Every structure is written in structure tokens, then in C-alpha cells.
Amino acid sequence: METKINKLIGIEKSKNPFKVPENYFAQFNEEIMNRLPEKKRVKPRTVPIWDKVKPWVYMAAMFVGLYITINFITQNNGENNMASSETATQQTLTGSPLVENYWSTVQITEEEFYEYLEEQIIDDGYYDYMYNQYYLN
């Protein structure tokens, strides 16, 4: 009984025991392509012009809306400022304060106002802070 090792010894080392058919690799790609099933060609989908332009139209509409909103807000503020300046001039000309404006109906003397400010400064400790800043530095 011949062992496996004896079989390996009988093989010539210079000769390759594996053989490849002639022109196997030259025709390899063609053989593979011929064996594959035929693939259906899908026609590319045409994108409508609206789908291409839609993001730009939406962005333009957003900016137009933003522009209109800002103009509306600034015009209303301008009208309110003009109205308040008109009421202030009307108050100074007529001498009678309007009831709508709270500060024009408050009757306080200058002394009372300064006393109120002094109380606030003392209560909040600003007096010591100002004293230290002015005299100690």
C-alpha cells in the first residue's frame, strides 16, 4: 500500500500539475457576459421644469414675505412714533394732559422725585458704591 507521502514524492517539482485551457483568460470576460441574463434598459425619468425651479420659487416667496413683513412692522412703528410725538406736542400746546398717557396724569413735584431717587439709591446700596468710587479711588 502506497502512502500519500510516496505519491507526493513521485510528482516532479518543475512541472505544474494544474493546466488551464488555451485562451481561457483571453475569452474569460466574453464567456461571463454571455452567461448573464439580458438586463432591461430603463429609460431615465425626465424631470419636469417645475420640479427643478420649485425650490428657487419657494425661496423667492420667502424673501418677498420677509420683506413685506419687515416693511409692515417698520411702517407701523413709524406711525406710532409719529402719533406719540403728535400727542406730546398737543399736550405741551394745550397744557392739558391726555388721560391715555399715564405719566402725564401723575402729579409729582421735583422734590418728591429726588426723594424717591435718593431712597432707591440708599436701599440698593448704590450710594456706598458711588461714594467708594469717587472718594476712595
Tens of each residue's pLDDT in the chain, 137 residues: 566 777 667 666 667 767 877 877 888 888 888 888 888 888 889 999 999 999 999 999 999 999 999 999 888 765 665 555 565 555 555 555 444 555 556 778 888 888 888 888 777 777 677 777 777 76
The residue behind cell 421644469 is: 49
Residue 22, in any domain of the structure: no
The grid coordinates listed for 36 are 448573464
Note the pLDDT of residue 87. 59
How far is the CA of 135 from the CAs of 125, 127, 132, in angstroms? 16, 12, 6
pTM check: above 0.85:
no
At residue 30's C-alpha, the angle toward residues 24 and 34, to 5°, is 120
Alpha carbons 14 and 6: distance in angstroms, whole number: 17
Alpha carbons 10 and 26: distance in angstroms, whole number: 33
Same domain, 90 and 117: no
Same domain, 97 and 113: no
Residue 32, in any domain of the structure: no
Q: Of all helices (H) and strands (E), which one includes residue 51?
A: helix 49-94
Note the pLDDT of residue 86. 60
Domain span including residue 118: 107-137
Same domain, 65 and 80: yes
Same domain, 56 and 97: yes
The residue behind cell 420683506 is: 67
Quote the number of domains for the chain: 2
The residue behind cell 401723575 is: 106
Judged by DSSP in three states, 13 sits in coil
Same domain, 115 and 90: no
